[in-house]
Structure 1
Amino acid sequence: MLRLITPLFFIFAGVIYVVFTFNLPQAKIGDPNGPLYFPAVIGIFLLLMSIVYLFQEWKKRGEKMEKVRQLFTGRTPFLIIASLVLIFIYTFLFERIGFLYSTIIFLTGLLFVVNGRKQWIKNILIAVIFSFITWYSFAELLNVSLP
């Protein structure tokens, strides 16, 4: 029964998403239903994939959930909690110090959690280079305003 919770949640989320999609206001220029098409396709796709997922999990309902148990063994709980803490810190810093610096801090912390301290040069280089390339691509090349 525990296996069915996730697909049922996504079916519920898909139904709510589709209902809200069909309540979007009509466009005043061009096709009145123009703003509806893309979100409707996404919502219907989410709903269909969730139903497929439900049937797949229904077939496996008698099997043991070994993969779920593996989430609570070894280093995995630490990785999950550390990632969540870093995501919270990232969201807190994002508006205060901007995209570039907060992303460097977030990626550096995440890479240290995953790779460890032995690869500190690699961790810092990847975080700085990736953050700078992402910032440059959006801010300079695409002209997207980042905080």
Structure 2
Amino acid sequence: MKSIKGDAWLAFCVIALAAVYLYMDMRLPEVRLSDPLGPKAFPALVGVGLIASALVLLLEGRSRNRSHAHTDTPEKPAAKRAAGPAAEVAHADKAHESKNHPLILTGMVAWTALYYLVFERAGYLLATSVFLFGLLIYFNRNRFKTNLAIALGVTVFFDLLFSQLLGVPMPTGFLPF
């Protein structure tokens, strides 16, 4: 139940920060050079994306809360004894997993900081592929080929989207393309 409240707080904080971000975006000067959208379009998309993500997080928390309410029936002592050691091991795994959350968060922050540090030197394609692959290896274990395909596919797709369709040059780094 505690994580659901934490998710709600996170969602409200993200919505508040996104609202401030969108307000600051609205205060940007109106400049129309060769770009029909102007400098306000991409920050507005980021702000709307943040709000949409926060709303999805709230909806997930709400559905999780409802599912917990339907499954939280008091267990009878005989049922607890019948579950035996397997239930105790599962409970111990959950407790161990919750202790690792700060370590996982710290690792993700360090991995993201490393990504930002090498982004210009290594280039978009290489840095983003390795970054995504590292995250997928951790969160989607035992699926090496699938993780590699997703990391490369997403990276190439967004590279083509930005460089070809939107005309935004991406850092090339070591690679000549």
TM-score range with shorter-chain normalisation?
0.5 to 0.7
Decide whether aligned partners of structure 1 residues 78 and 144 sit closer, same or farther in structure 2, where only a CA change above 3 A counts.
same
What's the counterpart of residue 168 of structure 2? 144
Tell me, in whole angstroms, the C-alpha distance in 1 between the residues paired with 2:31 and 2:102.
50
Q: 2:157 aligned with 1:114, yes or no?
A: no
Cα distance between partner residues in 2 of 1:144 and 1:28: 18
**Cα shift readout 1:11-59 (whole Å, capped 9, x = no counterpart):** 79977986x779x586699xxxxx99x98xx7xxx9xxxxxxxxxxxxx
* Structure 1 residues without counterparts, runs of 5 or longer: 30-34, 47-69
Matching residue's letter, 1:143: G
Candidates 97, 101, 107, aligned match of 1:82: 107
Gaps of at least 5 residues in structure 2 are: 1-5, 33-38, 52-94, 172-177
Q: Partner amino acid for 2:113?
A: F
Match status 1:134 vs 2:155: no
Secondary structure in structure 1 of the residue aligned to 2:167? coil
* Percent identity over paired residues: 24
Larger radius of gyration: 2
CA separation in 1, counterparts of 2:29 and 2:161? Answer: 34
Per the TM alignment, residue 132 of structure 1 is displaced from its structure 2 partner at its CA by 0.6
Structure 1 counterpart of 2:119: 94
Measure, in 2, the Cα distance between the counterparts of 1:28 and 1:125.
Answer: 40
Listed as ranges, the matches of 1:1-147 within 5 Å are 73-116=98-141, 118-147=142-171
- Matched to 1:140, the amino acid is Q
TM-score under structure 1 length normalisation: 0.52
* Pairs aligned (count): 112
1:65 equivalent in structure 2: none
Q: How far apart in 2 are the matches of 1:12 and 1:105?
A: 29
C-alpha displacement of 1:96: 0.8
Moved over 2 A (4+): 5-8, 10-18, 24-29, 74-79
Match of 1:145, SS state, is: coil
TM-score, scaled to structure 2: 0.45
